[in-house]
Amino acid sequence: MIRTALLEDLDAIAALHARARATYYRGRVPEQAYAGEAELARSREGWSRAVRRPEAQGRVFCAERDGEITGVAAFLTADGETTLTQLHVDPAHWRRGTGAALHAACLAAWRRAGVERVRLEVFEHNLRAQAFYASHGWRPDPSAVPSGSHRTLWLEVDGAPEE
């Protein structure tokens, strides 16, 4: 089930976020950047801001199965641009359609809001996520200059329902 995130979900969301990030950052990024109590608290605060934002500025969706949060996605619309800021599935729940369901919820929200184009940044070494995004129509901007450790992808949102 996909639903809007609630404030009482914050601890579960932050913990899931930490587990997911560890799968692609471990060995590539210093551990303090994605793990530990200080990073967990920082992450929880960021998720708190996202959950509290007005719907016109974005949404946070949770995937829930048997009362457990198995995935989370968030997007932000600011200054006329919409960004998929987060999409994480608990590694214990990979390959079960959770990411696709979260993506579909975001896509439906973007269509309702009349969003035509969405951007995201994905860690350059997270090839699994890049393959997921490519399978859902996200494409790199051929004119973009690579910067840092992330790649920018774009999705053209059409008015048709996602298959």
pLDDT of residue 39: 78
pLDDT of residue 14: 93
- 2-156: CATH number: 3.40.630.30
User: Can you list the residues of the chain whose pLDDT is less than 50?
Assistant: 162-163
pLDDT of residue 123: 84
pLDDT of residue 18: 87
User: In this predicted model, what pLDDT tens digit does every residue of 73-89 receive, in sequence order?
Assistant: 999 999 999 999 999 99
Contact of 86 with 17, CB cutoff 8 Å: yes
pLDDT of residue 163: 45
Contacts of 75 (CB under 8 A, 6+ apart): 58, 59, 82, 83, 84, 85, 106, 109, 110, 118
